[in-house]
């Protein structure tokens, strides 16, 4: 009975998207990871985006007016992560707060010696456990400028990580995946990455990933969608785990789209 009601409600929402075809085509054309999507993937992504926009509230802060296009841009990127999962992966919270630019996060913590600290830190994005996702629109718009940089994917990857508690780089795994394998692969890759960053070596993905295992997972997720070939070349095992977790292979998709374009060009 409940399932029937849920499906009925879903169908009803899907029939009334809060955007038109022109806006949808424009948003798909904006991102390197949405451009190569197949017709079937585009249609599934569109459904998730409509349901996401119905379920979540996206509000502006510090005077920012959040328009339809901004909402659609955020929802589309967020739903890329769950394209082959389910909207249920974003359960337990409803709000996305968007600042015009960087915002200051304030928090208190007690260090090892029991000393209380008050920190004010400029942020481009933040995810709260069972709370909102906070984004800087200026940074969310920086797509294509810095390769592999995507604050929306980054924060929503933290949200998936938080499905089983604090963000720690260990999201709840998909059926058939091995926790031991995930731990082994990510621990080794993280340690290797930190060593490279310490030696000031050039890395394909943002050195901020060395901050913690949670940031490593979020940054590698950004890169997985934005620059999949770099992740596959530098961290092949991590790439395999991310492909299994997200149930999609952006590198393969990109290569297929390129081949298709080359064929079309040769014709």
The residues binding Zn ion (CB under 5 A) are: 215, 218
Identify whether the C-beta of residue 37 lies closer than 8 Å to the C-beta of residue 30. no
- Euclidean distance between CA atoms 177 and 190, whole angstroms: 19
- Nearest CB to Zn ion, comparing residues 89 and 208: 208
Which two tokens mark 175? 């059926």
The whole-angstrom separation of Cα 263 and Cα 155 is 37
Q: Is 157:119 a contact under the CB 8 Å cutoff?
A: no
- Nearer to Zn ion by Cβ, of 67 and 122: the residue is 122
The residue of the chain with the least Cβ separation from Zn ion equals 218
> CB of residue 125 vs Zn ion: minimum separation in angstroms?
7
Residue number, 215 or 226, with CB nearest to Zn ion: 215
What's the min distance (Å) between Cβ of 214 and Zn ion? 7
What minimum distance in Å lies between the beta carbon of 212 and Zn ion? 8
Shortest CB 140 distance to Zn ion, Å: 14
Q: For Cα atoms 15, 17, 23, give the angle at the middle one, nearest 5 degrees.
A: 140
Which lies closer to Zn ion via its Cβ, residue 123 or residue 254?
Answer: 123
Closest CA to 90 of 120, 119, 54: 54
């Amino acid at each position: 009975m409940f399932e029937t009601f849920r499906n009925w409600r879903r169908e009803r929402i899907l029939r009334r998207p809060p955007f038109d075809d022109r806006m949808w085509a424009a948003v798909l054309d904006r991102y390197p990871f949405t451009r190569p999507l197949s017709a079937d993937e585009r249609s599934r992504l569109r459904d998730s985006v409509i349901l996401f926009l119905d379920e979540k509230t996206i509000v502006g802060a510090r005077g920012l007016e959040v328009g339809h296009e901004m909402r659609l841009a955020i929802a589309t990127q967020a739903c890329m992560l769950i394209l082959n999962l389910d909207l249920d992966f974003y359960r337990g919270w409803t709000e996305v707060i968007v600042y015009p630019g960087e915002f200051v996060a304030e928090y208190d913590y007690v260090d090892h010696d029991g000393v209380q600290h008050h920190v004010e830190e400029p942020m481009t994005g933040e995810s709260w456990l069972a709370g909102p996702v906070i984004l800087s629109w200026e940074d969310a718009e920086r797509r294509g400028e810095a390769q592999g940089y995507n604050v929306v994917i980054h924060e929503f990857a933290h949200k998936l990580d938080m499905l089983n508690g604090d963000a720690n780089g260990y999201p709840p795994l998909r059926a058939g995946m091995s926790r031991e394998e995930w731990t082994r692969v990510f621990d080794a890759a993280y340690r290797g990455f930190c060593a490279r960053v310490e030696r000031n070596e050039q890395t394909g993905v943002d050195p901020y990933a060395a901050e913690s295992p949670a940031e490593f997972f979020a940054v590698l997720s950004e890169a997985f969608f934005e620059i999949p070939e770099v992740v596959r070349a530098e961290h092949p095992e991590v790439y395999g785990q991310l492909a299994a977790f997200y149930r999609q292979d952006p590198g393969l998709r990109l290569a297929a789209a390129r081949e298709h374009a080359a064929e079309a060009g040769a014709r």
